[in-house]
Amino acid sequence: MRNFVYHSPKNLSDAIDAVTESGGDILAGGTTVIDLMKIGVREPSALVDITGLTDLEGHEIGADSLRFGALARMALVADDPDLVTAAPALTESLWKAASPQLRNVARLGGNILQRTRCPYFRDTAYAQCNKRDPGSGCAALDGGVTSHHAILGGSSACVAMYPGDWAQALIAFDAAVHTHGPGGRRTIPFADLHVLPGDTPDVETILKSGEIVTGITVPVVPALKASHYLKARDRESYAFASASAAVGVEMDGDTVRDVRIALGGVATTPWRARAAEDSLKGKPLTEETAREAGRIAFADASELEGSAYKIKLGADVVAGALMTAKSRAPGGK
C-alpha cells in the first residue's frame, strides 16, 4: 500500500472541498475501497473519510417514500422489522449480501458504488484489464474464465458483472439518488446512475469529481409490500449472486396491475427487465406466465463459454421470485 493523506471532514461542505482539492477517494465503511488499496488496484493519494458526517446516517419509512441516508449501515436497515414488512425486497437484498461483519461496517452509499469482483480486475498480475488500465485489453474476453461474468450489457471491451444485491431492489422500485458536489445538489434516477461499459469500462457512474451521495429515496407503491429478492449463488451464505431477481407485484384480483423485475448477477449494471414486466401486465400470474417472463428477461442475453448456465438459472430465479411475491400480495396464494 502506498502512502496517502487522510482527511476527516466534519461537514459536507468540507468533505466536498477535500475530495475536489485532493482528487482522493471517498471512504465510507471501506470494505471496497480499503480492500482494493490492499491489493494494489487503487492507489489514491488521499482518502476522505466521510463517516463523521452523521447527518447522513439513518433511514425513515414515510407514507409516500422511504429515505435512506448514504451512511446508514447495511445491517441496521436490513434488520428493521418495519422495513421488512414495508419493503421485503429491500431488506432481503441487504440481508443476503456479504456477511454480518461486513454489513455492520458497510454503508448504503458505498454499497451501491461497490466495484466489480472480476478476478482479472482485482489481480494486478494480469496486465489486460480495460477497467483498471484503459486500453490494455480484457483478460476475461481473451480466453479467461467467465463463469461469473455478465451476459447482459457487456461490450467488446468489458463484461464485468455488477456485483451488488441492494441495487436490484432500488432499480426495480424507481429509486432516486441524491448527491451534493461542487456544482450543488442534484437528484439522479437510480436507473441513470450506473453506465454501461461500452468503450470506457473505467467509467462506471455519472457521478462527477467531488460529488458525494447523500441519500437514496424510494417511492412507496403497493408492489413494494408484495416484493421479494431471490438470490442463487455458489453457497448459501457469503457469496455474490450467480443470478438474482428483485421483484414486486400488485394484483387486481387474478390480474397483474403492476410488476417490477430487476436482475442481479447477470449484467454489467443494475438491470431492469422491462420487457418481462410488460409480458405480465394485465395478465394472470401463474407458474406458466412467470416462466415466460423469466424467459423474456434473458431473450437478449449474450452468453460466454462459462456463463451460459446463467440464462436458465436466471429465468428460473425470476419465475420463483414472482411466485413468492404473488403469495405476499393481498389475496395471493
Q: Which residues bind ligand SF4 (CB under 6 A)?
A: 116, 118, 120-121, 129-131, 138-141, 158-160, 201
Least Å distance, CB 201 to ligand SF4, is 5
164 binds ligand FAD (CB under 6 A): yes
Only one of the segments 84-92, 163-171, 191-199, 295-303 lies at the binding site for ligand FAD (rule: CB under 6 A); that segment is 163-171
What's the CA angle centered on 121, arms 119 and 33, to 5 degrees? 105
Q: Establish if 110 lies at the interface with ligand FAD (CB under 6 A).
A: yes
> Closest approach of Cβ 137 to ligand SF4, in Å?
8
Instruction: Tell me if 91 contacts ligand FAD by CB under 6 A.
Output: no
Amino acid in the structure at residue 312:
K
Q: Output 22 or 155, the one with its CB closest to ligand SF4.
A: 155
Residue type, 275: A
140 interacts with ligand FAD by CB under 6 A: no
On the 0-12 / 13-18 / 19+ scale of CB atoms within 10 A, 186 is middle
Nearest residue (CB) to ligand FAD, 234 versus 305: 234
DSSP string, 144-200: ---TTS-SBS--SS--PPP--SHHHHHHHTT-EEEEEETTEEEEEEHHHHB---TT-
Cβ 15 to ligand FAD shortest distance, Å? 9
Amino acid identity at 11: N
Q: Does 173 bind ligand FAD (CB under 6 A)?
A: no
DSSP H stretches of helix in the chain: 12-22, 33-38, 74-78, 81-86, 88-95, 100-105, 108-112, 119-122, 166-172, 190-193, 222-225, 274-280, 287-297, 309-328
| Of 29 and 144, CB closest to ligand FAD | 29
Site residues (vs ligand FAD, CB under 6 A): 25-33, 35, 50, 70, 97-98, 102, 106-107, 109-111, 113-114, 164-166, 212-213, 240
